[in-house]
Each structure stands twice: as C-alpha cells, then as structure tokens.
Structure 1
Amino acid sequence: MADPITVTAAILVIGDEILSGRTKDRNVGYIADFLTAHGIDLKEVRIVSDDEAAIVAAVNALRKGYTYLFTTGGIGPTHDDITADSIAKAFGVPIGVDPRAKAMMLERFAEADLNEARLRMARIPAGADLIANKLSKAPGFWIGNVIVMAGVPAIMQAMLEEVAPKLKTGVRMLSETVRAELREGDIGTELRAVASAHPEVMIGSYPFLDDVGLPNTNLVVRARDADKLAAARHAVETMLAAVRLKLGR
C-alpha cells in the first residue's frame, strides 16, 4: 500500500490587537481542531502586526512551506485592515472592488449604504475565489493555497465551513491517552527508548497536577495507522508498569 499523502497547514493571525493583548485569539484552537478532524497537519502558527511588509513576508514564507495557509484578521472596513492589499502584493497581482463580492454585500446593504469604508471589504486580489459569508455577507477569499478569513470568530467559522468541502485531506490522526501515575521525570529515559522503537508514532509527555495536587503525567500516543498506534500504546503501558514496580508505586 502506498504511503498516505500528508496534507499540511499553517495559520497566520494578523492584527495589532492580538499582539497587544487587547483581543484574545479564539481562532487558532478552533482551526487546529478543524484541521485535525480533516486529517490536515497544522505545523506552524504565526502572529504579525498590521504591517504590510510583515504580512507579505509571512505569507510568502508560509505559503511555500505548507499545503495550505489560513489567515485570520484584517479584512474589515477600517484603515488598518490591510490584509487583502498585502496578500495581493505578496502574489504580485492587482486588487480592486470585485463585482461578485459587491453583489454578495448588496444582499445585506442597500446600494446607498455601500460607502467607501464598506466597499473596502469587497476589494479582492485578482484571480482569487470568494469565500461566502452567511453572517455578514462580506466575503473572504482563496488565492493560490492561501485561505483568507475574517478575525471575528463566528464569521471565521462560517467561512471555514464554506471551504471545508474543497480542501485536500489526509488520513486522520488517531490519538490515545495513557495516564502514567508517575512524574514526568520518573519516565524520561524509558519513554525515549519507547519512542525510538516506534519511530512512526508520535508520543507526547504532558505533566499535570492531579485532583489532590500531586504531579502526574499524561502520555499521548498519536499515529495514522491503528496497528502501529496499538503497538506503541502497549509498549508505553508495559514501560509504565515496569517503572511503577521498580519505584514501588
């Protein structure tokens, strides 16, 4: 059987308000869950300010490295919403009011209400496909492998639903969690040996405090192949039992 195709993604969050802490990002976690459910590996997340040079540099770097780049923020009606212009510059294409985007917005706004500020939301880089927005009608867009969405969480989620059927997807990652009943430092060496013996499986170690405030560890085993996942989990459980016995736990 041929190896499954790996589909990868990055997220670029755009906005001074995120970097200042004034607005708390709620989109990265949602997109990460969405991508995982669709068999797409999220590999990188960046946050940049409302600065054209920073946006262009980040877009050009990330779109070359991954199957998809998802951006959020900076496509509203105000002067600092410069994402669309910056992405047009990154792709080297012109930008202007798109008749399709304007028609979408006329479903919500009267012609007289489409002032200069609102029409900024209909400015789309040449060659881009539109992403419908059932909530506020102002669309996102998709150019090359870059998917440009709003920063408002509800609107971003609506746009993500629109693009979902068009995305390439890979084999979904399977995941199982094993509670160690040991501290992370108790099992570091042994866990390294298990991970080395199962190179096609990802094993993560996550310390936490249990219900009575004592240190404990969750080990998360992840793989796309169910048999390899089961074998690695068994190895982890065997290792934990041996360490607990050794420590008299």
Structure 2
Amino acid sequence: MKDTLSAAVVLIGNELLSGSIQDKNLAHIAKELEVRGIRIRETRIIPDIESEIVEAVNHLRQKFDYVFTTGGIGPTHDDITSDSMAAAFGVNNVIQQTVFEQIDKRFKEKGIPFTKEAQRMAYAPQGSEIIASKHSIIPGYRIDNVFVMAGVPSIMRLMLEGVIEHLNTGLTIHNKAIHANVGEGEIAHPLGIIQDQHPNIDIGSYPQDKNSEFSDYRVIFMVKGTDLEEIQITCDKILAACKDRGHDAILA
C-alpha cells in the first residue's frame, strides 16, 4: 500500500499468554493508526522475560517505522518493560524527575505512601522522551522509534492520545466491507485475479460472524487502501464476481 508507514505492536505480559486476560489493546491501536496512514504489519505477544523483550524490540525497531509496546510499566515485580527497554538500547533505566514529582504529588493528595515499588513508575530508559497524557498522571514514553505504554486498556488509550501527536503520518487508509452469500472456495479464483489487478489494495476474505447484523451472509470481504476510487473499482469487481456466480452481495 503506497504512501503509508509501517508499525509493529508488542503485547507484553504472562497473563496474555496464559489466557488469564484477553487483549483489548491491539484492535484499538490498529484502528487509531490506520486513519493516520500507519499499518500494523506484525504483532507479538511475549512473556515478562527480559531477554525476549529485548530480542523482540531490537528486531522490530529495525524492521518497521514504529514499534508500540503495551504492558509492564507498573510498580510490581513483574513490571520489567522499562528495565528491558533500557537493556535493548544499552542505556540505564533512570528516574524521570518530573514524573516522580507528579506521581508523588498525586499520592500525597490521596494520602497514599509513595513506596519504593510505586516509584518504579517514574523510571524510563536514559534519553527517553516522556509523553504526557492530559488525563493520566502516568505517562508513556518514546525512545527512538519505540513507544512504550501501559497494558491496562483504559490507561493505554489515554497514553495513545499523547503518542499520536508525536507520529509522522501517511495517507489515510480507507476500508469498505462487502457481505456475500458466496462460499470462499467458489470465489477464491476470481478474488485472486482481482487482487493481482489491484496490488495497492488489500482484500481480505473472512467467514461471517453469526452474531453480526449481516449474519444472513456467509462471507465478508474487507477492501482497504489509500485511493478511494480504486477501492470502489475493486469492490465493484467483487460484487460482479459474486453476481456472476448467482449469489447475493451488498456493499455495507
């Protein structure tokens, strides 16, 4: 897809791998980035193990324009993302004085002890750019092309609002959906031809969710690109291919 930027997301946390908690961050990040012309090209879910965090970050930051991480920047023993990020960049994990003072002030207002463990939330790798959020005292931060955010969805979303202001953007990625009663095996050949004719358009084919408002249709085709005219032409060809095979299809 022309004139877009690429990104990877690293979801950090043992709880994600065990199924104890279901990820709610990836879809939100992807949607927020797509309208800004940034495409998620790879996602990894990794445990709270420093060597694995270091390997993933160092590999992905060289491969993509941006890397976004979620999880592991809280006060508990398993929150090792900032330590690991410092190791990945070969720097020290150091206290960020402005963040320290900000959290200290809030804890005092609430009468909460600002323990040594809680102070871990004020650390970030040396040289990081702290990214403040309007609605959260705990900021995310940036080091080179890597953006580090919390794993709790509500906090991550607040951090992402601040992160977005620091991103370069590409052309907006638009998408349209076609719902069809055709079987995937039946449409696979013409769909492949249409994709070859429009290499700058992404065409995805997925079985229809039985709980959706379009549950009467068997398949949904997602058509994405930066050129609205070419998206429409591609959709018209898919609709025609379905009709030629005697099946109903609608552009939603």
Q: Which residue does 1:241 correspond to in 2?
A: 243
Q: Which residue does 1:173 correspond to in 2?
A: 173
Q: Give the 3 Å change call, closer, same or farther, for CA 53–209 of structure 1 in structure 2.
A: closer
Q: Give the 3 Å change call, closer, same or farther, for CA 121–212 of structure 1 in structure 2.
A: closer
**How far is 1:180 from its partner?**
2.2
Give the letter aligned to residue 166 of structure 2.
K
2:221 to 219, 227, 240: 219
**How far is 1:179 from its partner?**
2.0
Q: Which residue does 2:82 correspond to in 1?
A: 84
The two structures, once aligned, show a CA RMSD in angstroms of 2.2
1:120 and 2:120 equivalent?
yes
Which aligned runs of 4 or more in structure 1 are off by greater than 6 angstroms? 211-215
The answer to whether the 8 A contact 1:107-1:137 is kept is: no
**How far is 1:242 from its partner?**
1.2
**How far is 1:152 from its partner?**
0.9
SS of residue in 1 equivalent to 2:22: coil
The answer to whether the 8 A contact 2:61-2:67 is kept is: yes
- Cα deviation, 1:74-133, whole Å, max 9, x if unaligned, reads 001111111001000100111221212212213312298222001111111111011224
The answer to whether the 8 A contact 2:176-2:223 is kept is: yes
Q: Give the 3 Å change call, closer, same or farther, for CA 115–209 of structure 1 in structure 2.
A: closer
Q: Which residue does 1:139 correspond to in 2?
A: 139
- 5+ long unaligned stretches in structure 2: 248-252
> Percent identity of the aligned residues?
40
1:34 and 2:32 equivalent?
yes
1:189 and 2:184 equivalent?
no
Q: Give the 3 Å change call, closer, same or farther, for CA 144–181 of structure 1 in structure 2.
A: same
- 5+ long unaligned stretches in structure 1: none
2: CA distance between counterparts of 1:237 and 1:134? 45
Q: Which residue does 2:9 correspond to in 1?
A: 11
TM-score by length of 2: 0.89
1:20 and 2:22 equivalent?
no
Give the letter aligned to residue 234 of structure 2.
A
**How far is 1:215 from its partner?**
6.6
The answer to whether the 8 A contact 2:133-2:161 is kept is: no
Of 208-217 and 53-62, deviating more is 208-217
Give the letter aligned to residue 43 of structure 1.
R
Give the letter aligned to residue 117 of structure 2.
A
Give the letter aligned to residue 145 of structure 1.
N
Q: Which residue does 2:44 correspond to in 1?
A: 46
Q: Which residue does 2:68 correspond to in 1?
A: 70
2: CA distance between counterparts of 1:199 and 1:97? 48
**How far is 1:19 from its partner?**
0.9
Q: Give the 3 Å change call, closer, same or farther, for CA 136–107 of structure 1 in structure 2.
A: farther
The answer to whether the 8 A contact 1:71-1:149 is kept is: yes
1: CA distance between counterparts of 2:119 and 2:222? 48
The answer to whether the 8 A contact 2:208-2:214 is kept is: no
TM-score by length of 1: 0.90
1: CA distance between counterparts of 2:209 and 2:26? 26
The answer to whether the 8 A contact 1:108-1:136 is kept is: no
SS of residue in 2 equivalent to 1:114: coil
The answer to whether the 8 A contact 1:140-1:159 is kept is: yes
Of 16-25 and 81-90, deviating more is 16-25
The aligned length equals 243
2: CA distance between counterparts of 1:197 and 1:64? 31
Q: Give the 3 Å change call, closer, same or farther, for CA 138–222 of structure 1 in structure 2.
A: closer
